[in-house]
């Protein structure tokens, strides 16, 4: 079996989000030989979004919880000087309202400061987490797909040309000269998110890979086949096209303990996301179809199904009540799951 990568979602938002925990997770991930740490990306994170937990659990949320959220690029720039080998990913960057020229500069700078360790996921944002910020910045939420397409294209222009210009409906600049360029050539790997028809086409046309969230293995296989068909029709090779998958997970030596930890958080989280093919209030059995819950043996089997469907690596969103549990889950993965895929 070919090598499969594993990454940990940093506690960027939610009840475990603070500087000490970010440092602990980054350092522990490198010590345990994970492949990458992933930062989520949100400019705004309101009190209404507390239930949108990428790490931690609802049980960990305090009654007076502030809606803290760390910004992805600055956080990873700081961590780039703390951890020296592990890759640094953003899953996924919702580029607006940043100006693309400024964004290109920041990301190139991060890639250089990390000595070429940046992996860039880009997405359009979900209704649950991005509608309010788009409204606050007076940007058309229902046209965010076209906006992101222009952002991706314009970033590539800036990174690969000495002097670049771009004229679009949403992005416009002329005779821009931005240096230094990213360390990775021609630029860091770009993974696009989403599973809609438009997202599949975006991944095929503009991505070096695909980073969908919370799909079954069959959905991943189906999406990847559509991407390859589209790339073939455009005369693009699929060799080297990279597939990462985001998955909520809870692992324990006893599968029942893992499910108990995750049950309240995951049903609330998926309902707030409005996941397709799940009921408005999904049952835990429905949620398990797109998550990794159980003991090491069960999770190893499930990951094998995703790998067979074409997945190259995983972004693990750990559902746990505190940092002790967080580290314990990381260790279980590192010692009892990951060795089967190396």
Tell me the pLDDT tens digit for each residue of 131-183.
888 898 899 999 999 999 999 999 999 999 999 999 999 999 999 999 999 99
Give every residue of the chain whose pLDDT is below 50, as ranges. Answer: 1, 276-277, 279
User: Exposure of 217 by Cβ count < 10 A (0-12 exposed, 13-18 middle, 19+ buried)?
Assistant: buried
Tell me if 272 sits within 8 A of 52, measured CB to CB: yes
**CA 298, CA 337: separation in Å to the nearest integer?**
10
Helices 100-113, 144-160: axis angle to 10 degrees equals: 60
292 within 8 A of 248, measured Cβ to Cβ: yes
Instruction: Indicate the pTM of the whole model.
Output: 0.95
User: How many domains is the chain partitioned into structurally?
Assistant: 1
CA–CA distances in Å: residue 212 to residues 87, 200, 224, 337: 19, 9, 10, 22
CA distance 81 to 83: 6
pLDDT in tens, 66-92: 888 999 999 999 999 999 999 999 999
Contact by Cβ (8 Å): 259, 266: no
In this predicted structure, what is the pLDDT of residue 51? 58
By the 10 Å C-beta count (0-12 exposed, 13-18 middle, 19+ buried), 342 is classed as: exposed
Residue 13 gets which letter from DSSP? B
Tell me what pLDDT residue 268 has.
80
The CATH number of the domain where 164 resides is what? 3.20.20.30
Q: Which residue has the tokens 């002097």?
A: 163
CA–CA gap between residue 124 and residue 196 (Å, rounded): 11
DSSP state of 341: G
Query: 330 and 318 in contact (C-beta within 8 Å)?
Result: yes
Domain that holds residue 174: 5-341
């Amino acid at each position: 079996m070919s090598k499969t990568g594993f990454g940990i979602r940093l506690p960027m938002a939610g009840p475990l989000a603070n500087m000490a925990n970010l440092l602990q997770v980054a350092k522990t991930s490198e010590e345990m030989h994970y492949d990458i740490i992933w930062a989520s990306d949100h400019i705004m994170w309101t009190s209404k979004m507390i239930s949108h937990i990428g790490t931690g659990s609802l049980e960990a949320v305090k009654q007076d919880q502030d809606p803290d959220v760390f910004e992805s690029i600055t956080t990873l720039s700081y961590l780039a000087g703390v951890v020296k080998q592990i890759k640094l990913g953003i899953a996924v960057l919702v580029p607006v309202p940043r100006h693309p020229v400024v964004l290109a500069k920041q990301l190139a700078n991060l890639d250089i400061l990390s000595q070429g360790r940046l992996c860039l996921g880009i997405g359009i944002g979900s209704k649950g987490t991005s509608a309010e910020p788009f409204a606050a910045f007076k940007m058309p939420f229902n046209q965010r797909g076209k906006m992101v397409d222009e952002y991706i294209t314009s970033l590539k222009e800036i990174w690969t040309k000495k002097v670049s210009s771009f004229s679009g409906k949403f992005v416009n600049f002329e005779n821009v000269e931005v240096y230094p360029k990213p360390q990775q050539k021609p630029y860091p790997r770009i993974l696009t998110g989403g599973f809609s028809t438009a997202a599949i086409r975006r991944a095929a046309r503009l991505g070096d890979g695909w980073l969908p969230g919370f799909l079954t293995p069959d959905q991943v296989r189906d999406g990847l086949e559509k991407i390859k068909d589209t790339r073939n029709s455009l005369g693009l090779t699929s060799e080297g096209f990279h597939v990462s998958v985001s998955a909520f997970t809870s692992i324990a030596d006893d599968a029942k303990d893992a499910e108990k930890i995750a049950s309240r958080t995951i049903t609330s989280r998926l309902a707030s996301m409005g996941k397709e093919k799940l009921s408005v209030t999904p049952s835990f059995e429905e949620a398990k179809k797109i998550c990794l819950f159980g003991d090491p043996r069960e999770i190893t089997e499930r990951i094998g199904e995703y790998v067979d469907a074409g997945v190259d690596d995983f972004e693990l969103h750990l559902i746990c009540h505190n940092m002790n549990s967080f580290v314990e889950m990381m260790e279980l993965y590192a010692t009892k799951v990951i060795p089967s895929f190396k």
